Amino acid sequence: MNWLDKIERRLGRYAIKNLMSYIVFITGIVFALSYFDRRGFVISKLMLIPELVLRGEVWRLVTYIFIPPGTSVIWILFTLYFYYIVGSALENEWGSFRFNIFYLTGMIGTTIAAFITGYGATALYLNLSLFLAFARIYPDFELLLFFIIPIKIKYLAMLNWFFIVYTVLVGDISAKLIAVVSIMNYFLFFGKDIVARTKNNRQVYNNRRRFQSELPRNFTIHRCTICGKTERDDPKMDFRYCPQCEGDYEYCMDHVRNHEHIKK
C-alpha cells in the first residue's frame, strides 16, 4: 500500500499507541455505569443516531465504539480481554499508525452506513472486522469455545463470513449496506492480497487442466518391465524399482522379487 506508506511518513507521529487499551478501558467504565442504569440512559447517549448527530450531538460519532457488546459480567470480561488481544496483535503486526487507520476507516464505514440508512448503529461490524483481520493473520490461533473446547480462530471466522454473506443475501437494504460498508476497512487492507491469491489460484487451476489435457489418454506413470502391467490395469498395485538392476527398471509387486536382473 504505497499510499499508506506516504501518509504514514507524514502523519505517523500522530498515531495513538495502544489504541485498543484505551477503547477496552473506556468500554469497561461504560459497562460499569450502564450496569446500574436500569433506564438505559447512558447507552442512549452514546449510540450513533444520525438524526441526533445532525442536531448537534456530534460526540455520538465516536462514543458508540464504547458501547458494551452485552450485559453479562462474565461475557464482557471475556469479550474485552479478547478485544485487547486482537487489537494488540494487529498493532504489533502493522504498527500503531496502520492499526489506527484500520480502526478509523471501520468507523467511517459504520458512520456512512448509519447516515445512509438513517438507523442507529453500534460497533458490531467494526469489531467483526477486527476479528476477521486477526483471523486472517493468525488463522491457527486457538480459543476455548465455552471455555472448554479448543477451536482455531479461522473456523470461527468462516462462521462470521457466513453471517455477513447471509445478511447480504436475505437482509433488507439497510442491513445489506451496513454489512458491506462497515467492513470496507478489511478489504482496504487485504483486498489486494485476496485478488492476487484468487488470480494465482485460477492460474494454477488452468495450468493443471491444460497439463492434464495435453497428456496422452494412455499415459501411465508406472509400468512393469516383465508383464507390462500399469496402474491403469490395477490401481491398487504397487510398483518398485529394483536396486540390483543396472538402469531404471520398474516392476509390479508380482515380479519385483521374481525376475532376472538386468546387467549392462
User: How far apart are alpha carbons 66 and 60 in whole angstroms?
Assistant: 10
Q: Which helix (H) or strand (E) holds 250?
A: strand 250-252
**Domain architecture of the chain: domains with CATH:** 14-194 (1.20.1540.10), 215-264 (no CATH)
What would the pLDDT profile of 37-95 be if each residue is shown by its tens digit?
778 888 888 888 888 999 999 999 999 999 988 778 888 888 899 899 999 999 998 88
Question: Residue 212 pLDDT more than 70?
Answer: no
How many residues are there in the chain? 264
Question: Residue 215 pLDDT more than 60?
Answer: no
Q: Per the confidence metrics, is the pTM higher than 0.75?
A: no
> What are the distances in angstroms from CA 204 to CA 69, 180, 235?
43, 30, 26
Measured at the CA of 174, the angle between CA 173 and CA 179, to 5 degrees, comes to 100
DSSP E strand boundaries for 139-221: 142-145, 149-152
- First-to-last CA distance in the chain? 62
Q: Which residues of 11-29 are buried (b: 16+ CB within 10 A; e: fewer)?
A: eeeebbeebbeebbeebee
* pLDDT at residue 128, as a whole number: 85
Give, to the nearest 10 degrees, the angle between helix 173-181 and helix 96-117: 170
Tell me which DSSP letter residue 47 carries.
S
Share of the chain above pLDDT 70, in %: 93
* pLDDT at residue 246, as a whole number: 82
Do 222 and 205 meet the contact criterion of CB atoms below 8 Å apart?
no
Please name which of 46, 19, 36 lies closest in space to residue 103, comparing C-alpha atoms: 19
> What are the distances in angstroms from CA 87 to CA 21, 240, 247?
8, 55, 61
Q: Enumerate the β-bridge partners of residue 143.
A: 151
What would the pLDDT profile of 92-113 be if each residue is shown by its tens digit?
988 889 899 899 988 888 888 8
What would the pLDDT profile of 5-41 be if each residue is shown by its tens digit?
777 788 778 888 999 999 999 999 999 988 887 788 8
